[in-house]
Amino acid sequence: MNGADALCDTLLASGIDICFANPGTSEMHFVAALDRKPQMRCVLGLFEGVVTGAADGYARMADTPAATLLHTGPGLANGLANLHNARRAHTPMVNIVGDHASYHLQHDAPLTSDIEAIARPMSHWVRTTRSSHAISADAAQAVTQARSHPGQIATLIVPADAAWDESTADIAIAEAPKPRQRVDASAVRAAADRIRCGQRTTLMLSGVALREPALVVAARIAQHTGVSLLAQQSNARMERGAGRPVIERVPYPIDQALSMLKDVQQLILIGAKAPVSFFAYPGKPGVMTPPGCEIHPLAAVADDLQHTLEWLADELGVPRDLAIRKPERVRLPLPTGALTAEAVMAALGVLMPEEAILCDESVSAGRTLFGYTRNAARHDYLQLTGGAIGAGIPLATGAAIACPGRKVICLQADGSAMYTVQGLWTQAREGLDIVTIIFSNRSYAILRNEFKSVGAGEPGHNACRMLDLDNPALQWVQLANGMGISASRATTAEAFNQALQRALAEPGPHLIEAVI
């Protein structure tokens, strides 16, 4: 058994049976080992950002890490943007990065780089394995670290000779994840006292507190005490739709966020961070809470948030059988007339099937989504967490692999789609049940808004050439067809309704260009 076999056996023994990959020469022995392990599913991405983004989407829905296989420092560097998003989402992930044979590094060949330095900013744990005998223990430690709460990025660098040399070490197995830590009783009592004091109080949630069991407890607290509930702006996963408690999130636009939070006197954080603006804007605050608002962290995202909410509810005397208000399924008429972003969201709210997974990188076009889908079918909502665009298509790819029985709908801005458009090819190759909706406004619309928000005035000729995506316009139907994806183009609400109904009814990947 060589080191590559030991590495693959360790991943499998530790519960990782999927590898998103874009390998090169240094990884060929690991590729050969994968060939001998049919129980490991191997998914090829044509760009490393697709690989890391798909591993992110997979883990968000499977609640367990996937492995990635990347080629030396430049391959890892190509995947860093979506590793940044995954880190912000607290996604568990194990990156296997091949390197030159240890004795070849002295020659400074073209692909030689400091891989540990490249990996460290986007990884919680980084190690270079020193020999084929150490590779199994190192891989088991990587999986252990990845599964640490709330989820971590572990990067294991494997020199080529460590993969092809023989290994005599026993196969190691990752440690089972430890239980989440529980908060102190004094913190729960203090939070209950603050709620009782009568000030306008908001519980801000994130992490697993946005899953249905925890949301139900939070809704009981809110209904019994009068506190309000709010999710932080960016979240890895939210469970939404009819029959589930309603929770809004902090808006991205700074003025909307300031308005939403202007009356809050106390903010209690449960798995969330205190809200700040995405960027600095001249003459506007960076902190979204009003002056004088007291911010009280109750539980960190790695803590047992379900238990924290249950304990807080008991401390406040909330009846455990309290019936909470939940939105019922409402089917509004389908939109007609001009095709707008709002019309797309309205159609989605009517037609989305039960237990769909929404992967949202619609950026500026999707800001009305929550209002139109509050009473839609039950669904999971995955969003861009770190602000590094190019996540949507890969995120949907990984989510579809994690949940093969569920329809995945990707809401995708046209500009950011071009960062990882190669993911459509992976969707076609794997036969994934994904509907990608391209919001085709032929511009970086969010940047036009930001241009004004930062006080830069109105964009002129040169600025528009950096903000617009026309001349030539992107041909999304042809791009999708070229990747093996069935595609259509809609310019009216009626045409979009029909295209969405067809795409939802048929299995496999589809793309709809919504010209808005």
Which of these ranges, 69-83, 324-338, 396-410, has the smallest mean pLDDT?
Answer: 324-338
pLDDT at 456 over 90: no
Same domain assignment for residues 351 and 471: yes
The verdict on 211 and 310 lying in the same domain is: yes
Residue 444, pLDDT > 80, answer no
- The structure tokens listed for 454 are 């930062």
326 band by pLDDT with thresholds 50, 70 and 90: confident
**pLDDT digits 0-9 by tens, 268-322:** 999 999 999 999 999 999 999 999 999 999 999 999 999 999 999 999 999 999 9
φ/ψ of 506, rounded to 5, equals: -105, 135
Percent of the chain with pLDDT over 90: 91
Same domain, 105 and 215: no
Element (H, E) at 93: strand 93-99
Angle ∠(208,211,212) on CA atoms, nearest 5: 150
- Residues 483, 421 within the same domain: yes
Would you say residue 353 lies in a domain?
Answer: yes
- Residues 189, 160, single domain; the answer is no
Percent of the chain with pLDDT over 70: 100
Helix (H, G, I), strand (E, B) or coil at 406: coil
pLDDT category of residue 235 using cuts at 50, 70 and 90: very high
CATH of the domain at 444: 3.40.50.970
Mean pLDDT of all residues in 372-377 = 95
104-125, pLDDT tens digit by residue?
999 999 999 999 999 999 999 9
| Confidence band of 450 (pLDDT split at 50, 70, 90) | confident
> Is 54 found in the same domain as 145?
yes
Confidence at 467, pLDDT banded by 50, 70, 90: confident
Q: pLDDT band for 128, please (50, 70, 90 cuts).
A: very high
Q: Which pLDDT band, with edges at 50, 70 and 90, does 77 fall under?
A: very high
- 492/354 same-domain check: yes
CA dihedral 107, 113, 115, 121 (to 10 degrees): 160
Among 164, 194, 225, residue at a domain's last position:
164
Q: Among 116, 131, 164, give the residue marking a domain's end.
A: 164
Specify if 303 maps to a domain: yes
Domain match, 10 and 152 both: yes
Scan for tokens 């995405």, then name that residue: 278
pLDDT computed for residue 492 by the predictor: 98
Rounded CA separation 218/465 (Å): 48
Average pLDDT for 231-249: 97
The answer to whether residue 336 is domain-embedded is: no
Which amino acid is residue 414, in one-letter code?
A: D
How does residue 443 score in pLDDT terms, banded at 50, 70 and 90? confident
Residue 327 has pLDDT above 90, yes or no: no
Contacts with 100 (C-beta within 8 Å, 6 or more apart), sequence order? 26, 72, 109, 111, 112, 159, 160
Q: What is the mean pLDDT of residues 347-356?
A: 97
**Average pLDDT score over residue span 98-107:** 98
- Where is pLDDT greater, at 448 or 133? 133
**What secondary structure, in 3-state letters, does 169-214 show?**
CCCCCCCCCCCCECCCHHHHHHHHHHHHCCCCEEEEECHHHHCHHH
Binned at pLDDT 50, 70 and 90, residue 20 comes out as very high
The tokens describing 179, both together, are: 């239980």
Q: Which among 422, 418, 391 has a CA at the least distance from the CA of 43?
A: 422
Q: Residue 336 CB: number of other CB atoms within 10 A?
A: 11
- Can you give the C-alpha Rg of the chain in angstroms? 24
In a domain, 459, yes or no: yes
Last residue of a domain, one of 129, 164, 199: 164
d(Cα 46, Cα 48) in Å, to the nearest integer? Answer: 7
Considering the domain architecture, whether residues 122 and 258 belong to the same structural domain is answered as no
Is the pLDDT score of 331 beyond 90? no
**Whole-number Å distance between alpha carbons of 171 and 6:** 6
Mean pLDDT of 159-188: 97
Tell me the pairing of strands 379-383 and 238-240: antiparallel
User: Is 269 inside a domain boundary?
Assistant: yes
**Secondary structure of residue 112 in the 3-state scheme:** coil
Res 27 pLDDT > 80: yes
> How many domains does the chain fold into?
3
Residue 262 has phi, psi (to 5 degrees) of -65, -25
One-letter amino acid for residue 248 of the chain: E
The predicted-structure confidence for 200-221, as pLDDT tens digits, reads as follows 999 999 999 999 999 999 999 9
Q: What H or E segment, with its residue span, contains residue 447?
A: helix 445-453
pLDDT at 62 over 90: yes
**Structure-block tokens of residue 138:** 């190192």
**Same domain assignment for residues 309 and 200:** yes
Alpha-carbon distance values, 154 to 54, 135, 139, 149 (Å) = 16, 14, 9, 13
CATH number at residue 311: 3.40.50.1220
Task: Say if residue 449's pLDDT is above 80.
Answer: no
Q: In sequence order, which residues have a C-beta less than 8 Å from that of residue 107 and are 6 or more positions away?
A: none
**Could you tell me if 148 and 73 lie in one domain?**
yes
For residues 481 and 345, state if they share a domain. Answer: yes
Residue 326 lies in a domain: no
Any idea what the Cα angle at residue 488 is, between residues 400 and 354, rounded to 5°? 40
For residue 507, being part of any structural domain is answered with yes
- pLDDT of amino acid 167: 96
Residue type, 279: F
Domain that holds residue 130: 3-164
**pLDDT at site 363:** 84
Q: Determine the average pLDDT of the residues in 249-260.
A: 95
Judge whether 332 lies within some domain: no
